[in-house]
Amino acid sequence: MNGSPRKKQRTDVQESIVTVILGAQWGDEGKGKVVDLLATTADVVCRCQGGNNAGHTIVVDGIEYDFHLLPSGIIQPNVKSVIGKAHLVFDFHQAVDGLQEQEKNQKGQGLGTTKKGIGPTYSSKATRNGIRVGDLLGDFEKFREKFKTLVATYERMFPNLQVNIEDELVRYEKYAIKIKPLVYDTVSFLDKAIREGKKILVEGANAAMLDIDFGTYPYVTSSNCTVGGVCTGLGISPIRISTIVGVVKAYTTRVGDGPFPTELSNEIGDLMQERGGEIGVTTKRKRRCGWLDVFLLQYTNMINGYTAFCVTKLDILDTLKEVKIAVGYNLNGKRIHYMPSTASDLAKVECEYITLPGWEASTENVREFSDLPKNAQSYINKIEELVGVPIKWIGVDFDLFMITYSLLRCKRNCKIAVIIVRKRKLLYLVGRKQFTYVA
């Protein structure tokens, strides 16, 4: 070819492993516990989207920690914690959130929002009058003017909104001084970490079916909580993501309003709620419960491209005589092969189920996958078969939060690890075939 020869590409750059943890259902699958586990070997843990409307609970040394905004990996002393590109949520955003939800409830159109101000903040972002961390740390007089303009916009929309602007500005000026040492260009920081071969762990908030674009709109959150949100929130190229772990509860739960095809409004749903301790970390509301929905998992897998599943809370099903799995949807009497695009259509869906025999035995003392009741093994195998995603981890026992610190000791050839936690002590990690415990 004419011209100068192409420069030889560098081959001495060690690309890191970027692992993403995502909720595969409607949230509350146990992502925070998995993140805390994997963070023990990570160098950087990131939150990429959302705000303090999410809730992740972990327990370390008998102490419970509830995380809403910060990456739960922050509990690890040697891990750098990163929050991606951030707009500021002000008190009036939260007030507006409540006023909007009140108006919708009066019309019978409530969404069950957490009232944390996340929706109004994303609205400010989209209309390009939002205020970012960089604005707070720059010329404070310019910040003052932006803040006054934003408040005036919302006061015109909501005449009853009351904001003491001067008091608020005094508070924010103090915040600016306090957080300035913590602010960094995270795009270049993460790029450097990746090139140096650091292990990057990304903690998704909310879940796939709450995604603003691909979830059950309008009963969704205000951000992209599918894998695309990792790229837009952190500035990480998709080709750098090597592992995408979908966290799946062994049944299905949902907080708030919105369609829920497999919901059980009976004693089985009540049993799942009670045995699973299904109360929202952020909202404190009881979670709605239902059978596992594999049709839904197939849909979220199309979007996220999971490389592995972690199935949690298998033991909650221990007492059931039979368990059902939704494998298809019928709409208006016809089998459909797509996820309905409107909430009204999804609410009319009738599920096709397969029924498997329950195991009616405790899984607390399991030591190997082969020691799980045969019917429990069949349940796990069926999920893997139907979705086509390998299940690498299973959570057994309510104290799943104590799975920390040892999972990665399992050798790479383990097909599946069963996480058993009882009496606040990690007992064993086992493989589906032959397990070798590595001290």
Q: Which residues are annotated as a binding site for IMP?
A: 28-31, 53-56, 114, 128, 206, 221, 285
Contacts for 101 with CB less than 8 Å, ≥ 6 apart = 110, 111, 113, 115
Of 248, 231, 227, nearest in space to 304 by CA: 227
On whether the CB atoms of residues 207 and 54 are closer than 8 A, the answer is: no
Reduced to 3 states (helix: H, G, I; strand: E, B; else coil), residue 390 is coil
258: region left, alpha or beta (phi > 0 left; psi from -120 to 50 alpha): left
CA atoms within 13 A on the CB side of 360: 6
Q: Which residue's structure tokens are 């589906």?
A: 432
Q: What are phi and psi of 302, to 5 degrees?
A: -55, -40
Reduced to 3 states (helix: H, G, I; strand: E, B; else coil), residue 185 is coil
Q: How far apart are CA 140 and CA 136, in angstroms?
A: 7
Q: What are phi and psi of 424, to 5 degrees?
A: 60, 25
The residues annotated with a catalytic role in the active site are 28, 56, 125
On whether the CB atoms of residues 396 and 419 are closer than 8 A, the answer is: yes
Alpha carbon 292 to its chain's center: 17
Reduced to 3 states (helix: H, G, I; strand: E, B; else coil), residue 149 is helix
Give CA separation, 174 vs 140, 346, 407, in Å. 11, 48, 42
Of 309, 316, 281, 242, nearest in space to 25 by CA: 309
* Residues of each annotated binding site for Mg(2+): 28, 55
Contacts for 16 with CB less than 8 Å, ≥ 6 apart = 43, 193, 194, 195, 196, 197, 198, 199, 200, 240
Q: How far apart are CA 151 and CA 93, in angstroms?
A: 9
Contacts for 128 with CB less than 8 Å, ≥ 6 apart = none
* Residues of each annotated binding site: 27-33, 53-57, 114, 128, 206, 221, 281-287, 313-315
* Residues of each annotated binding site for GTP: 27-33, 55-57, 287, 313-315
Contacts for 309 with CB less than 8 Å, ≥ 6 apart = 24, 245, 246, 247, 248, 383, 384, 387, 389, 390, 391, 392, 393
Pairing of strands 308-312, 391-396: parallel
